[in-house]
Structure formats: structure tokens, C-alpha cells
Structure 1
Amino acid sequence: MKSSLYAPMSVLQTLVAILAMAVVVVGSNILVQYPINQWLTWGPSRIRSPFWWLI
């Protein structure tokens, strides 16, 4: 008996999800190089974590 609340993702949906996560990871790796002030950069998890949850 197989029951599922959600239909499986299509190949296109899977690729879009992978691309979205890759953009967040690469973007945070780039942004960590730019400081906001003397001790904080744009890449810490406090700044990017809202985007992780959206994906």
C-alpha cells in the first residue's frame, strides 16, 4: 500500500530546486568576502538562513 500526500517532482522541478539551492550556496560563498563592518560579513548563516528556508 503506497500512500503519498504529494506527487513526485518532475525532472524540471528537481533541476529548478537544485539550481535555486546552488545559487544560495554560491552567493553566500561570494558574499562572505565583503564586510558589512569590521567583524561581520554578508555570508554568515544569520543573514542567509531565511533564504535556505524559502528553498
Structure 2
Amino acid sequence: MTRVLAFKLWGDYGHFRKYYTTTSPLTFEFPPPTSVVGIVSAIIGLDKEQYPALSR
């Protein structure tokens, strides 16, 4: 059985700049995996020292 966690994240601004750009407004269509881990960790209340192991 596969489990899926789905949630809607919204805001006025969201800019996930592509790493190879410096002044271009190119962004990812979806947040990078490390950003998603940080967002979910903040929602469930993990301290920032606890979640880096989750992104490996």
C-alpha cells in the first residue's frame, strides 16, 4: 500500500532560483527537495538541527 502526503502551499511570492543563474528570473516549477524537507519539517515542528538527516 502506497501512502501519499498532499498539501496545498500558497503565498504571495515564491521564487526558487535555479542554481546556475545569477541575475535571471528563471525559477524551478516546483520547490527543490531540500526546500520541501525544510517546509514540512517546519510544519511538523522539527528544530533545524533535526531535519538535515531527512534530506539525504
Global fold match (TM > 0.5) = no
Normalising by the residue count of structure 1, what TM-score does the alignment of the two structures yield?
0.30
Structure in which a larger fraction of residues adopt helix: 1
TM-score, normalised relative to structure 2: 0.30
Query: Rg larger in 1 or in 2?
Result: 1
